[in-house]
Amino acid sequence: MRILITGASGQLGGYLLRALRDHGGEVVAWSRSRAGELFGRVPHPIDLADARAVEAAFDEARPEVVIHAAAMARVSDCHADPEKAHRVNAAATATLAGLAARRGARFVYVSTDLVFGGDRGRYAEADAPSPLSEYGRSKAAGEVAALAVPRAVVARVSLLYGPSLVGRPTFFDEQVAALRGGRPVTLFADEHRSPLDLASAAVALLELAKSGFVGVLHVGGPERISRLEMGQRLAEHLGLAREGIVAMRRDEAPAPEPRPRDVSLDSSRWRHAFPTLSWPTYGEALLILCPVTPVPPSAASAPAAPS
Ligand SMILES: NC(=O)c1ccc[n+]([C@@H]2O[C@H](COP(=O)([O-])OP(=O)(O)OC[C@H]3O[C@@H](n4cnc5c(N)ncnc54)[C@H](OP(=O)(O)O)[C@@H]3O)[C@@H](O)[C@H]2O)c1
């Protein structure tokens, strides 16, 4: 199976390439500008905003499966340049989906929980998107473009977390560094998500790509938790004081676009279809992502040596 991964140099892309290390077939990786080998593959720089370049590179790649993970993925960047956000996240998705359909290739579009407005949470696949941001609007438009071709999949992934594999720190890395360095981390108490670790998300997307599933699927974690609680659990896991995490409300932080209150996903359809895939809680994932050496009970209870 020849697989094309767009956004291969991104946070999710790195995990996709790692999961494909032992893939017997050919893997073609694209980035926008970042090159350099990642898990044995060197991404080709292809600007998705350049439809002609995309078409030529696609013909060369001849994929049977496309996992389209590339995006202008920062909410603030999309707000600053909505026209570019739509060109990259929506128009380029339409181009790629059309090219995939022409070749009879399967098309998996990586979408986001931020296509929802956050007014009620635990969103199911049948719920109508109601994005609050330019990012969410451009990704929702990408979904429409993807679903216009046969055999396409829209995988709406939730907030993803984990250490970076691509050399650029993730928000998770930054939080760990700040906590270990004694710097405070401010997080929203009133923003709820259903986070999933990057490794599980990558494997889920690859299994989805290999399967016959068609349509929209929510790929989120098993818990609905606030950003604040995530930070507090991380601090506790690292053996650091919860006080390093400072609570804030969304209305205390000025932002050019409204922030959703609760975009947690109901992922039961995915779980029903792929029950054997890994689905760790945040706590379970932390044990793997940041192993901590337990203090032996004898050492923990031993009296301090006199100085
Ligand atoms: N991270 C999350 O929590 C999360 C949650 C829900 C959904 N998602 C979705 O998951 C996907 C991956 O997100 P991510 O966090 O891995 O994003 P990321 O780290 O920002 O990576 C984005 C990737 O897209 C590429 N890209 C950006 N603009 C491009 C352009 N004009 N032409 C070609 N490639 C371009 C980047 O290439 P360069 O590295 O060369 O710039 C990079 O490989 C996105 O579709 C995003 O919407 C992410």
Counting ligand 1 atoms within 8 A of each CB, the residue from 5, 12, 171, 200 with the most, and so the one to mutate, is 12
Cα(71)–Cα(11) distance, integer angstroms: 11
pLDDT of residue 76: 95
> Ligand 1 center to residue 164 CA distance, Å?
13
Of ligand 1's atoms, which has the minimum distance to the CA of residue 45?
Answer: 40
Residue nearest (by alpha carbon) to ligand 1 atom 5: 159
Mean pLDDT of 255-267: 96
**Tens digit of pLDDT for each residue in 106-153?**
999 999 999 999 999 999 999 999 999 999 999 999 999 999 999 999
Q: What is the pTM of this model?
A: 0.95
Residue 10 has a CB neighbour count (10 Å cut-off) of 23
In this predicted structure, what is the pLDDT of residue 149?
Answer: 96
pLDDT of residue 60: 97
Give the residue among 235, 120, 108 at the shortest CA–CA distance from 181: 235
Tell me the best of 4, 6, 11 to mutate to test the pocket of ligand 1, counting ligand atoms within 8 Å of each CB and taking the most.
Answer: 11
Tell me the two tokens of residue 112.
């986001």
Mean pLDDT of the chain: 93
| 169 has a pLDDT exceeding 90 | yes
Closest approach atom of ligand 1 to CA 48: 32
Q: How far is it, in rounded angstroms, from Cα 117 to Cα 130?
A: 5
Whether 276 shows a pLDDT value over 70: the answer reads yes
Name every protein residue with a CB atom under 6 angstroms from any ligand 1 atom: 7-13, 31-34, 46-49, 69-73, 88, 110, 112, 139, 157, 159-160
User: How far, in Å, is the centroid of ligand 1 from the Cα of 71?
Assistant: 4
Residue range 196-253, pLDDT digits in tens: 999 999 999 999 999 999 999 999 999 999 999 999 999 999 999 888 899 999 999 9
Mean pLDDT of 260-278: 97
pLDDT of residue 35: 74
pLDDT of res. 34: 80
Which is nearest to 121 in space by CA: 200, 217, 220? 220
User: Residue 22's pLDDT is what?
Assistant: 85
Q: How many CB atoms lie within 10 A of CB 128?
A: 9
Q: Which pLDDT value is given to residue 294?
A: 55
Assigned token pair, 115: 């296509």
Give the whole-angstrom CA distance, residue 181 versus residue 190.
Answer: 26
33 Cα nearest atom in ligand 1: 40
Q: Kindly state the DSSP code that residue 252 receives in the 8-state scheme.
A: G
Higher pLDDT, 4 or 253: 4
State the DSSP code for 181. T
Number of H helices, E strands in the chain: 12, 13
Crossing angle of helices 134-147 and 92-103, in 10° steps, is 20
The residue type at 274: F
- What was the pLDDT predicted at 23? 81
Please report which confidence band the pLDDT of residue 298 belongs to, taking 50, 70 and 90 as the band edges: low
> ∠ at Cα 243 (241, 247), nearest 5°?
140
